[in-house]
Structure 1
Amino acid sequence: MSGRRRTADAHGLVGRGSELRRLQRAFACLGEGRSVLMEITGEPGMGKTRLLDELARIARCGGATVVAGRCSEYERARPFSAFAAFLDGEASPPPPGSLPGLERGRFHREMAERLDGLGGGGPVVVVLDDLHWADNGSLELLRHILRGTPARPLMIAVAHRPRQTGELLVDALAGTSAAFHRERIVPRPLSEEDVAALARFLGAFCPPGLHARCEGNPLYARALMTAGPEGLRAADGHGEADGPPGDVADAVAQVLLAEARALDPAPLAVLRTAAVVGDPFDPEFVSGLAHAEAPDAAALLDGLRERDLVRPEPSGGRLLCFRHPVLRHAVYQDAGPGWRLVTHRRIVAALAERGAPATALAPHVARSAAPGDREAAAVLVRAARSVLTSVPASAAHWLSRALPLLPEEESEARCELSLLLAHACAAAGDLERGRRILHDLLAALPSDAPHRAAALRLLSLVDRMQGKYEEGAAVLHEESRRGGPDLPSVLALRASCEVLAGRHQAVGHVRRAVRAAADGSVADEARLLALGTRALVEACRGSVPHALEAARQATGLLSGRSDEELAPLLDCLGQLGWAQVLLEQPGRASEHFTRGLRAAERTGQSHLSTYLLVGQILAVLRLGDVRAALRAADEAEERSRLLRSDPMLAFALSMRAGALLWRDGPAGAAAVAEQAVRLGGRGRGWWTGVARRILARVRLLEGDALEALRILDDAGGGPGMPGVDVCALPMWLAVQAEALMLLGRPHEAEPLVREALTRAAAVALPAQRGHALAARAELLLRTGDPVGAASVARWAAATFERCGQPLEEARCRLLAAEARAASGRVGAARTELSRAWTIGDAGGARSLADRAAYRYGQLSPSSTADVRPPAAATPPGERVRPAGLTHREHDVVTLVRSGLTNAQVADRLHVTVKAVEAHLTRAYRKLGVTSRSALVAMGTHEISGDGTTTAPGAARTP
């Protein structure tokens, strides 16, 4: 007997031994505390669903809670169709009434938390079949779950057809976090022995040549076993050089259809009704709908179950589904277009009588409504509005179906609907389609049309999200020539595009906008947009008094407004918040960003929330809260991916890299900063410049000063960095000077430091002066004046303390400590380090705190005369060495983990770079790691030996 020969198992599975073993091993991972993504992919009929069913059986036998979902071909716009059973508790035709209206980011978080809470603490397995037909909402929720870290072990098992897998599903699976162990199964064709075993299990005849005809596809094999001579002849020629493609698939479809057509008229009518209702379907609803043609429809459904044409839905509820999607497709198409049209309309009437929401009616209305049907259009619009915040892609689909139903003469209603459709497309991330709709709408609208201003505002936003600043400015330039009551808004929007494009004429246009908005007849919305944009443009230009006055006026107009009143003003809030960040008012900026985000969540303007979140990252970083900045960065990155906007994602990632620099040092920030620059491209826009400058700072902290200078020169537009905002220029001049000092060229750094001080005095922003002073202190320290360096560094720290930027204050205190130690004042140095550690530890700036703690421990009282701690005390901040590491190896490891490069470590320890490399090589071997990244990733307890972190200044007893 052949070693490959197999017989069917107790559940009718043939030739799937290795696949079953992999499913069992994957489920066992849950018991080991690991989450799992199981992906099963293959062509129709290869047994994906059977493997998922078997996994669900294994999971239930293992005590797991199983959540099953299935997508279907004709319900692709149904919101969250893959998770219907989970969301409803027990799936039913109408989606849950509580679902519409939830903002999708919040909804994703709530659903992930619900999954974590299932099963009373036991393992949870989510089984999702035919995911290639999933709606965007399901795929976005799946991506959110897979990108996270479940609170307890979770298995996500999905099945899809590779040829029909769309970009969103590919992205969702590719973005799976490291918290998930990944398994991928591609069911292989059955062998000839397997096909024979399948025939024995089914009690069917296995004709000669069947395996060649079905090519090992289990579904095709089953069908052809019952096809008879005619079916087999239809499949002949498949796979031959001169045979037409698709013969077997067509033959199988005909076999399945023949099975349905063999039914009597009444059960066939019930089966066709079920195919039109949906898959899965409610048997009670189908029975009632088919009652006129089949009075005993309920009993007939039982007969269809006995014939295995329909079967219980995998979620275990009361719903039924077709045996295979190919069968449902064949029955649906065979019903005929006229019969389907009438049945869809009957379904709409029956659902409406039941009081079903518009989202349940919409799929059937979209397939049955005729042009001119205003009532049908109204249903589709209601459905779209109800899911606009949670599944904007479904909203866009229904709106695009509603638009052709409205008569051409109803131009006002069609314009309003087109604007709503563009809004839905933008929120769904289909920015280019939204842009086309808006351009077409503006071309058709007269200059005095009421919807023109709203269309222009949305188009400007879409252009900015796509990084098309020049194109956006050009459209608004043409619009400004029309004049009219919307001129202030048009000019302000034009200035918004121009400032992001780095064009200097923005200030002239925004000042003109403010003058035009001073007219008492201009709406507050236009005035706010003009004032907020002016604050931003003037701040970038360095006209701080004008920027502060514009920000003050805009804040006054915003005060006292409710979230509902803020809904149309979110772009204004964004401009104002960014202006306040640049004007060193991070507290006020954070308040405005927070209010804007709350209003965006309640009104479904997720396409605006990304811009607000990115600003919030920088605002809370300035306030010293790294943890809050990284939470905002997580959200901003997620929203950017939902928008499918590379420029917005690049901006979010660059802000994340800035936060990671404080928490993890350059080792943790480098990859993120590099990705931001790649996504931002080579443009000269404001956001791409920010991304490149942050990468320059990462390179500088890595010790690659030459590369940092090159990037700064490129991002800043050449010598003097004319492309950098004037209000931030002192800070970046200081970074340039620091790079030159690291290269041992202080004589070249000195003019840059002087220019930074001059520029800081001109803009009169205290934090900019603090950056210039810090560069001055570094220069003094490197040129042999530690006393002067200490004085200037403490002055810089006090400056940052007064303007509420604690992390920068801590950085300057580290510098002051180095200067004081160099001048022999070790006790004073330790005081500065203690303050730096406190700030870093409180704000989550782990890298900064670790550097302070390490240096504090280095300045041991045992080597100084002016500090005498108790004899029993261990020097605070000093780490316990693991057995085997020498003191020097431990010093090198600690500095490397704080983010310093080998060159910087060598400079700190006054040794050569080669000596550092030798110490690291020996430390790697003793610690059992093979790379720098692995060393950085090690837990503190693995290095310190005790797992504790001691604050500088706090004595620790042995």
Structure 2
Amino acid sequence: MNGREALPDRHGPVRSVSPLVGRRDALHAFSQSVDAAVAHGFQFRAMVGEPGAGKTRLLAELADMAGKGGLTTLWGRAAEFEQAMPFSALVDALDDHLEARRDELSGRLGAGQARLLATVFPALAAKMPHEAADAGQEAGQPGMVRYRLYRALRQLIDELASPSGLALILDDVHWADDGSAEFLDHLVRHPPRGRVLVAVAYRPAQATPRLAALARSAGARGGEVTVGPLDEDEVEQFLGPAVNRSRRAALFEASGGNPFYLEALAKMSRLSVGELPPTVRAALQVELGDLAPASLLVAQAAAVTADEFEPALAAVAAEVDAAQALDALDDLFLRDIVRPGAGGRFRFRHSLVRQAAYESAAAGWRLAAHARLAAHLADLGAPAIVRAHHIERSGVFGDRRAVSALVEAARTVGAQSPVTAAHWLRKALDLMPAEPGNLEERLELLMELSRALGISGKLSESRDTARELLRLLPEDDYARRARATRWCALMERQLDRPLEARALLLDELRRMPDPHSPVAIPLRMRLVAESMMRADFRAAQAVLDLMPEYEEDWPPGLAMAVAALRPMPAYAAGRLTEALRLADAADRLITEALDEHLAEWLDAVAWTCWAGSHIGRYSVALRHFGRAAAVARATGQDYILTHLLAGRVRVLIVLGRLPEALDTAEESVEGARLLESRQQAVFALTGLCLALTWSGDHDAAILAGEEAVSTGVDRGEVSGNLARQALGAALVCAGRHDDGIALLLEACDGFVEPRLDKGNLLICCEYLAYAEAARGRHEAAASYAERAATLVQPELPAFSGLVPLAEAHAVRAADPMAAAGLADRAAGMLAAGERRIDAGRALLLAGTAYGEAGERGEARARLRDASEIFAASEAKALAAQVARAQRRLGVRVSAGGGAGQASGPFGLSPRETEIAQLVAEGLTNQLIAAQLFLSVRTVETHLSHVFAKLGVTSRVGVATKLNRGGL
């Protein structure tokens, strides 16, 4: 590590005069990332290390490599004392560059995108007409605006990357606001099209889970570098020959090999080693203590001002004139306390130096300095979001202007950064006296705060704020009490407190003089949802019967939300014709609804999505799950997103889209863990268990299933039985038939008073018939086949094929020819019902049974068809079973799978062939994913297989190979 940290500017680093010491692994990783970005497009690199480990210095090396690779390098840093500022690191990195290219970019981005981006970047807002800038504060759900903003930011990065590429380097992102981390998460999941390298550095102890997961979320395009301390040999090289051995050893021990600490301690040459203070903070205070009083004052004022500060503002904070401030800055520059930045600004050489300068000032003086800056910025007409940082640190209790400014700032950023909005709303409430004259405003702010906290995933804080609001609301303010109660009950449910949620809803309904009034409808809807979660569909139907389908005074989207709840109770009660009619009505209303209206009622819409999968309308269900999940993600409603993703997993599995199901399941589990919601974890882990089971990773599936079962919150919840069903299936597929049968029977409550619906009960019967037949208990298998026949619902044909499949299991040992016929019939019915994996299983059974009956031609044909299904679905364990059955029939099968596994040219699977053709047509991975309804990550996985099978390393190579092959 060098003795002087390289100074970055927005276009790359200023090279240090000293060479880098060590860090060969990091430099190699950086070189690979730059090469990959130039050759293949988007790359993400995270660098993790403790304070002072040398992350910034290494980022300077990365910037240098990127520049030599032809990439434009833009550099930004988040700051400790401006953590609430939305997208501060991005603004730091891009704003000056945008100012130089503003006219060019505005034409390429379009007016709508430019307005959105102007809400973030001062350079774009400066020349925009006031009306247009205001239009950037779009109406609608905050998360929808946030999602559109993220897409605009991604497009901006792509535009900045054209034509030569872009390296976007963001330092100290552990101090970035949640919106920045959320955008980075969006970026790695939906990467830019161009040659873009994004590198971030952060401290692991201060990183949020979302930030820490970025490199993993980027998949093959991501990587992480850990920056540790220097060893003794590197410390010797770092200090140079002028430092003797004993002092070097003492410095190494005192610093722990941390380069920044080592440098700070080494500067204290006037002290003997034995007199060194125990921490580097003391060393920095000594360094600052050597300054003249005037220079120290300006250093403290600069630390109060901003991470990158203007001399004029530092002069205001210090209460000195501009000339005195510049004289002091000259001294600070000579002592390497501050360094020049862009546009005549300065910044401290390291964030730790700024922290030390800030903490060296008296607390009262700091408060007054923040107040001076807030007043000065107000006189200049600075926006509330610029002043809010100083107001929150200097506001006086009861100061109406401070409260108004904080509320204005919160509402300005609420659409893009609800966490920041919640922070400033809370500060405003802290400054507002609890007086009768303030009650109305306080109530509105509490409602805003509760929603902002909930949307941000801070469920407990959102619930507590909603309860505080309910305590303050007048008894007869029914409309606002209903809104607050519904929101509070929703948070209670996500926090695994369903009884509290139900009690809250019933208590509020009892308070209403007319519990059937329009304001009571949202409360009744939550009661319906709570009843259905416990499989009490009679109670749910009783509440729905008291609710009209539509009223003139209902707000937009409410009729759609009520309709979305109706199909499931009708289905559970066996009123199938009615359930299908209600599903059609809900489908029509949801399809016609605006995203903004859908976002308000996602908790209700989710029930139509699940109902679609229960009645076997898988394509429709997948469409609704996909759209609802996109809206939930866009509006930041993580507490609903994980539930929707878990449902989508189940549909993807049935349809045979296992790689996508695995990706979706992992995202669902990750989201549930971040929320710390056991209810969401049960749904997510259940989906993961099923996806892993049919993908063939039985050990991992069992672990996920066991965690889902042990995590369950209430034996009466449907989610617990679904978890047991999934674990039972995983155990059966892993060959642990006894354990699997026990779990499946528990999931069905022994078929006495089952909470599972008939479709899932039928699935359990087929699993049980298979497991009992595998144990040689053919009578037991036959009994489950007979039970399955009693559960068939002709109106819902998707499940009907499971009955002949269960019968085939039961009779195979005694009459393989009859079993083959039954399995054949089952395969046709299941394929018609879109149950692709089950159709493949039926073909596998038919092929095996035909072989046992001596019908080798029929056996080979069925096994070939099964092999194609499992290969395209990437159901590895089932494909291996097919391969073994084929070998027994004398079919030559490759080690990788069945004879039908690579049915396309060059050994490509059907899905790989499809993707290769689209690549040859020039489509990007994003466009391919959209066209085939896959995730980008799944496309990338298939494409890596295509490269390997074709023996090429680029998309051009794919096109050339396919054209030569006549594909």
- TM class by shorter chain equals 0.7 to 0.9
Match in the other structure for 2:484 = 455
TM-score for the superposition, normalised by structure 2: 0.74
Match in the other structure for 2:615 = 583
Q: Which amino acid aligns with 1:308?
A: D
1:89-488 equivalences under 5 Å are 90=97, 95-96=120-121, 127-141=169-183, 160=202, 164=206, 177=219, 180=222, 182-188=224-230, 194=236, 197=239, 200=242, 232=271, 248-249=279-280, 251-260=282-291, 262=292, 264=294, 270-282=298-310, 293-295=321-323, 301=329, 304-312=332-340, 320-337=346-363, 339-345=365-371, 347-348=373-374, 358-408=384-434, 409=436, 410-449=438-477, 450-483=479-512, 484=515, 485=517, 486-488=519-521
Match in the other structure for 1:796 = 826
| Separation in structure 2 between the aligned mates of residue 897 and residue 694 of structure 1, nearest angstrom | 27
3-state SS of paired residue (1:74): helix
| Separation in structure 1 between the aligned mates of residue 324 and residue 524 of structure 2, nearest angstrom | 69
Cα distance change, pair 45–228 in 1 and its aligned pair in 2 (3 A): same
CA drift at 1:760? 1.9
Q: Which amino acid aligns with 2:84?
A: A
| Separation in structure 2 between the aligned mates of residue 529 and residue 168 of structure 1, nearest angstrom | 31
Q: Which amino acid aligns with 1:472?
A: A
Cα distance change, pair 560–324 in 1 and its aligned pair in 2 (3 A): closer
Alignment check: 8 A CA contact 2:34 2:69 kept: no
What do residues 233-284 of structure 1 show as CA deviations (whole Å, max 9, x unaligned)?
Answer: 9x9777xxxxxxx765453243233244x053xx666544432221133567
Cα distance change, pair 725–381 in 1 and its aligned pair in 2 (3 A): farther
Q: Which amino acid aligns with 2:546?
A: R
3-state SS of paired residue (1:772): helix
What do residues 865-894 of structure 1 show as CA deviations (whole Å, max 9, x unaligned)?
Answer: xxxxxxxxxx8xx54x5xxxxxxxx59x75
Match in the other structure for 2:10 = none
What do residues 871-924 of structure 1 show as CA deviations (whole Å, max 9, x unaligned)?
Answer: xxxx8xx54x5xxxxxxxx59x759999xxxxxxxxxxxxxxxxxxxxxxxxxx
Alignment check: 8 A CA contact 1:837 1:852 kept: no
| Separation in structure 1 between the aligned mates of residue 751 and residue 792 of structure 2, nearest angstrom | 18
1:25 maps to 2:28? yes
| Separation in structure 2 between the aligned mates of residue 63 and residue 302 of structure 1, nearest angstrom | 35
1:539 maps to 2:571? yes
Match in the other structure for 2:680 = 648
| Separation in structure 1 between the aligned mates of residue 218 and residue 585 of structure 2, nearest angstrom | 46
| Separation in structure 1 between the aligned mates of residue 251 and residue 64 of structure 2, nearest angstrom | 31
What do residues 765-823 of structure 1 show as CA deviations (whole Å, max 9, x unaligned)?
Answer: 3223222222112222233152x334433433343344444443444344334444444
1:904-923 equivalences under 5 Å are none
Worse-superposed segment, 591-600 or 318-327: 591-600
User: How many residues are treated as equivalent by the alignment?
Assistant: 859
Match in the other structure for 1:41 = 49
Match in the other structure for 1:808 = 838
TM-score for the superposition, normalised by structure 1: 0.75
Match in the other structure for 2:546 = 515
| Separation in structure 1 between the aligned mates of residue 261 and residue 662 of structure 2, nearest angstrom | 52
CA drift at 1:493? 1.5
Worse-superposed segment, 702-711 or 610-619: 610-619
1:622-771 equivalences under 5 Å are 622=654, 625-626=657-658, 629=661, 632-633=664-665, 636-637=668-669, 639-640=671-672, 643-659=675-691, 661-662=693-694, 666=698, 673=705, 676-677=708-709, 685-718=717-750, 722-761=754-793, 764-771=795-802
Worse-superposed segment, 179-188 or 418-427: 179-188
3-state SS of paired residue (2:546): helix
What do residues 458-477 of structure 1 show as CA deviations (whole Å, max 9, x unaligned)?
Answer: 22322333333233223333
Q: Which amino acid aligns with 2:757?
A: D
Among the aligned pairs, what percent are the same residue?
29
Alignment check: 8 A CA contact 1:731 1:772 kept: no
Worse-superposed segment, 58-67 or 508-517: 58-67
Match in the other structure for 1:904 = none
| Separation in structure 2 between the aligned mates of residue 946 and residue 854 of structure 1, nearest angstrom | 28
Query: RMSD of the TM alignment (CA)?
Result: 5.1
Cα distance change, pair 289–157 in 1 and its aligned pair in 2 (3 A): same
CA drift at 1:293? 2.1
Alignment check: 8 A CA contact 1:45 1:217 kept: yes
Alignment check: 8 A CA contact 1:834 1:856 kept: no
3-state SS of paired residue (1:371): coil
Match in the other structure for 1:903 = none
CA drift at 1:228? 8.2
Gaps of 5+ in 1: 1-5, 239-245, 864-874, 882-889, 899-935, 948-955
| Separation in structure 2 between the aligned mates of residue 602 and residue 473 of structure 1, nearest angstrom | 28
CA drift at 1:743? 1.4
CA drift at 1:515? 1.5
| Separation in structure 2 between the aligned mates of residue 498 and residue 742 of structure 1, nearest angstrom | 38
Cα distance change, pair 212–671 in 1 and its aligned pair in 2 (3 A): closer
CA drift at 1:634? 6.0
Q: Which amino acid aligns with 2:507?
A: E
What do residues 492-517 of structure 1 show as CA deviations (whole Å, max 9, x unaligned)?
Answer: 31232233245x3x522441343144
3-state SS of paired residue (1:321): strand
Cα distance change, pair 767–598 in 1 and its aligned pair in 2 (3 A): same
Alignment check: 8 A CA contact 1:541 1:726 kept: no
What do residues 321-365 of structure 1 show as CA deviations (whole Å, max 9, x unaligned)?
Answer: 212333323433455555544543554466567776544333223
Q: Which amino acid aligns with 1:275?
A: A
CA drift at 1:438? 2.0
CA drift at 1:746? 1.3
Worse-superposed segment, 269-278 or 635-644: 635-644
What do residues 14-62 of structure 1 show as CA deviations (whole Å, max 9, x unaligned)?
Answer: 9x74x333433333444775978564533x5565544544554566567
What do residues 560-595 of structure 1 show as CA deviations (whole Å, max 9, x unaligned)?
Answer: 443334342322211222222212233443444445
| Separation in structure 1 between the aligned mates of residue 584 and residue 638 of structure 2, nearest angstrom | 27
Alignment check: 8 A CA contact 1:538 1:546 kept: yes
| Separation in structure 1 between the aligned mates of residue 257 and residue 638 of structure 2, nearest angstrom | 48
Q: Which has the larger radius of gyration?
A: 1
Alignment check: 8 A CA contact 1:70 1:129 kept: yes
Alignment check: 8 A CA contact 2:867 2:899 kept: no
CA drift at 1:74? 0.9
Alignment check: 8 A CA contact 2:583 2:612 kept: yes
Cα distance change, pair 376–567 in 1 and its aligned pair in 2 (3 A): farther
| Separation in structure 2 between the aligned mates of residue 293 and residue 738 of structure 1, nearest angstrom | 86
Worse-superposed segment, 113-122 or 477-486: 113-122
CA drift at 1:757? 0.9
| Separation in structure 1 between the aligned mates of residue 299 and residue 717 of structure 2, nearest angstrom | 59
What do residues 716-772 of structure 1 show as CA deviations (whole Å, max 9, x unaligned)?
Answer: 4446572423442112122122111111211111111111110224x8532232222
Alignment check: 8 A CA contact 1:693 1:711 kept: yes
| Separation in structure 1 between the aligned mates of residue 234 and residue 623 of structure 2, nearest angstrom | 70
3-state SS of paired residue (1:451): helix
